[in-house]
Amino acid sequence: MTKIVTPEFSKQARKRLLRMHYESGVGHIGGNLSSLDAMLLIFNEYWSPENQFILSKGHSAGALYIALWSKGLITDDELKTFHKDNTHLPGHPPSFGRAEIPFATGSLGHGLPLAAGTALAKRLKQDPGHVYCLISDGECQEGSIWEALIFIAHHQLKNITILVDHNQLQGFGITGEIASMEPLNEKFKSFHFDHYQIPGHDSEALRVVLDAPAEHPKLIVLETTKGHGISFMEHKMEWHYLPLKEQQYLQALEELDAK
């Protein structure tokens, strides 16, 4: 059953993400919050068993699990096992236990090549469905990303949509200072894609471009905020790593409830 992603729906998902990370004592919260909105929309309004979603930036597995939970594909009890021994919900997407997760990812740069191969296989086999792949801007420093873009453009795989989480932060700092790819959008425009650049936390803006007819492979740059929605996390590189302390968790919930 299709669920419409509303602001209240997104807020409850964001709170469940924070609770899951707080209870497990695990970090990577900033990048989860920058990518969660896109995953919520795709899984609840666009995903079906014929489709594939591949999270190339695998350290945002928490957001992936919450999106699946919001769709009813993961239970609340399963979320309580996040990052624990013998879990099916480890810190990066697993290669076992979940039909909705086709590949283990997290070694950056590999998810988009896997998505490209999946899209070509679907076309050759005349399989229905679409392939969605979420990559990060820092990940675009990997050469394999650009090889995959060349492959997708060459084969004009119209059954793939690439989403770029452009939060401008990576593990060691600002992407433009670590290994600048700017202007990143101009580089993407050099490929023969249907190219879009939108506010990455605006569900309606994302619906518009996802619904647009595809003449070429589709690439959507999501202008996002690392740590989106939590004042002390936004634009802070350290929330690539830090777990939540109790007072921080409570403050984050208060901020979300106040909005």
Q: Domain with 240 in it: what CATH number?
A: 3.40.50.970
Coil, strand or helix: which one is 3? Answer: coil
pLDDT in tens, 131-177: 999 999 999 999 999 999 999 999 999 999 999 999 987 887 888 88
Q: Does the residue 1 lie in any domain?
A: no
Residue 250, CB half-sphere, CA atoms under 13 Å: how many?
Answer: 3
pLDDT for 18: 98
Helix (H) or strand (E) holding 131: strand 131-136
* Mean pLDDT to the nearest integer, 99-127: 96
Residue type present at position 85: D
DSSP state of 141: G
The answer to whether the CB of 51 falls within 8 A of the CB of 210 is: no
Spatial distance between the Cα atoms of 150 and 162, rounded to a whole number of angstroms: 13
The answer to whether the CB of 46 falls within 8 A of the CB of 210 is: yes
DSSP state of 188: H
Q: Does the residue 138 lie in any domain?
A: yes
The total number of structural domains that make up the chain = 1
* Mean pLDDT to the nearest integer, 75-96: 94
Q: Does the residue 131 lie in any domain?
A: yes
Coil, strand or helix: which one is 53? Answer: strand
Q: Does the residue 116 lie in any domain?
A: yes
Beta strands 169-170; 173-174: pairing state: antiparallel
Domain around 124: 7-258
pLDDT for 1: 65
pLDDT for 259: 83
Q: Does the residue 139 lie in any domain?
A: yes
pLDDT for 53: 98
Is the pLDDT score of 180 beyond 90? no
Between 3 and 231, the more confident residue is 231
Q: Does the residue 128 lie in any domain?
A: yes
Radius of gyration of the chain (CA): 17
Helix (H) or strand (E) holding 195: strand 194-199
Is the pLDDT score of 120 beyond 90? yes
**pLDDT confidence bin for 77, thresholds 50/70/90:** very high
